[in-house]
């Protein structure tokens, strides 16, 4: 392993032989750094944090710090799990979970741009991009390949669906559906995220079906339950449409979130 002489590394930290710890980094005990992990410089990694293979961390990032919660007991053992091949840029902060044994999770191949924040107990999927100065509050769930624009503020316990895109400067206080572009204050679904759907290889048939579903959900005068029923009757039930229906159905049933956003 390559550890700069100025770094402070607890001897109980588990560091792969091919990991790199740069100058003035601090790595606490109980940390795990996988093969090819790079901490560039001035990175702080607190106990309970695990970084997957090939993850790169830019200067001044703070990973696994205590959550900003008045009820948090610093004696508990919780952590942060970052998947392989993530890119964590300058001054990013990721807080560990509030409760014993729980983890804040970042999926494989995600990028957190400079000065973005992921709060305690969040689950961030694979291939997610969180743009500079975006703030994700505690207990949020972000689906695979979602993109969160710059300066976006996300309220606690909000879900952002798979392949969703949230436009910059939006205020997200309720769940944002998968496959849609949402924007505004408050954030509202506006259109289908066709660029992401094409990039991820979603079929033309399914893209067309999602367009129809979007039109019924957000362009008709029907309430949520009637819109869902019409989609089930009139729109081809591709896997993406089924996923969208399940997501919206959970909102309508009050399982999570604060409304449909229409």
Residue 29 domain flag = yes
The CATH number of the domain holding residue 239 is 1.20.1180.10
**pLDDT interval class at 261 (50, 70, 90):** very low
Q: In what order do the strands lie in the sheet with 165-166?
A: 2-3, 20-21, 38-39, 56-57, 87-88, 111-112, 129-130, 147-148, 165-166, 180-183, 188-192
Where among 96, 122, 139 does a domain terminate? 139
Residue 157 belongs to a domain: no
The reported pLDDT for the residue numbered 221 is 85
Q: Tell me how many domains the chain contains.
A: 2
CA 99/CA 151 separation, integer angstroms: 28
Determine which one of 121, 149, 155, 243 is catalytic: 121
Cα 162 to Cα 142: distance, rounded to the nearest angstrom: 7
Q: What is the pLDDT of residue 254?
A: 63
Boundary residue ending a domain (117, 139, 161): 139
> Active-site residue among 48, 119, 127, 138?
138
In-domain check, residue 257: no
207 and 127 in a single domain? The answer is no
Q: Is residue 76's pLDDT more than 90?
A: yes
Residues 84-143 have pLDDT tens digits of: 999 999 999 999 999 999 999 999 999 999 999 999 999 999 999 999 999 999 999 999
Residue 78 is assigned to a structural domain of this protein: yes
Give the per-residue pLDDT at 58.
98
Q: What is the mean pLDDT of residues 10-26?
A: 98
Q: Are 46 and 31 in contact (CB under 8 A)?
A: yes
Asked if 88 and 62 touch (Cβ cutoff 8 Å), the reply is: no
Residue 180 falls within a domain, yes or no?
no
Which domain does 105 fall in, by range?
2-139
Domain containing residue 57: CATH number: 2.160.10.10
126 with 218, same domain: the answer is no
| Any domain includes 158 | no
Does 258 score more than 90 pLDDT? no
Is 138 among the residues known to form the active site?
yes
Across 220-228, average pLDDT:
92
Distance CA 214, CA 191 (A): 7
Q: Which of 42, 95, 117, 120 is catalytic?
A: 120
Residue 235 has pLDDT above 80, yes or no: yes
Residues 177, 164 contacting (CB under 8 angstroms): yes
- Residue range 169-215, pLDDT digits in tens: 999 999 999 999 999 999 999 999 999 999 999 999 999 999 999 99
Same domain, 46 and 120: yes
* Average pLDDT score, the chain: 95
Distance (Å, rounded) from C-alpha 137 to C-alpha 154? 6
pLDDT tier, 68 (very low <50, low <70, confident <90, very high otherwise): very high
Q: Is 120 a catalytic residue?
A: yes
Confidence of residue 260 (pLDDT cuts 50, 70, 90): very low
> End of a domain among 115, 139, 163?
139
């Amino acid at each position: 392993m390559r550890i700069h002489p100025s770094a402070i590394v607890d001897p109980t930290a588990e560091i792969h032989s091919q990991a790199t710890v740069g100058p003035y980094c601090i790595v606490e005990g109980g940390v795990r750094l996988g093969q090819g992990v790079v901490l560039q410089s001035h990175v702080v990694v607190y106990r309970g944090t695990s970084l997957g293979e090939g993850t790169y961390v830019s200067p001044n990032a703070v990973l696994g710090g205590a959550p900003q919660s008045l009820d948090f007991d610093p004696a508990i053992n919780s952590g942060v799990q970052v998947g392989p091949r993530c890119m964590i840029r300058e001054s990013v902060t990721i807080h560990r979970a509030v409760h014993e044994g729980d983890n804040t999770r970042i999926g494989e191949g995600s990028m957190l741009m400079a000065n973005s924040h992921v709060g305690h107990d969040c689950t961030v999927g694979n291939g997610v991009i969180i743009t500079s100065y975006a703030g994700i509050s505690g207990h949020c769930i972000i689906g695979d390949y979602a993109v969160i624009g710059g300066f976006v503020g996300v309220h606690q316990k909000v879900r952002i669906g798979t392949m969703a895109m949230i436009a910059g400067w939006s205020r997200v206080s309720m769940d944002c559906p998968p496959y849609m572009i949402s924007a505004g204050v408050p954030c509202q679904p506006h259109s289908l995220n066709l660029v992401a759907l094409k990039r991820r290889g979603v079929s033309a048939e399914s893209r067309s079906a999602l367009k129809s579903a979007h039109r019924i959900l957000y362009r008709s005068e029907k309430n949520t339950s009637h819109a869902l029923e019409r989609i089930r009757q009139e729109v081809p039930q591709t896997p993406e449409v089924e996923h969208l229906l399940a997501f919206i159905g959970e909102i309508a049933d009050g399982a999570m979130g604060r409304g449909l956003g229409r």
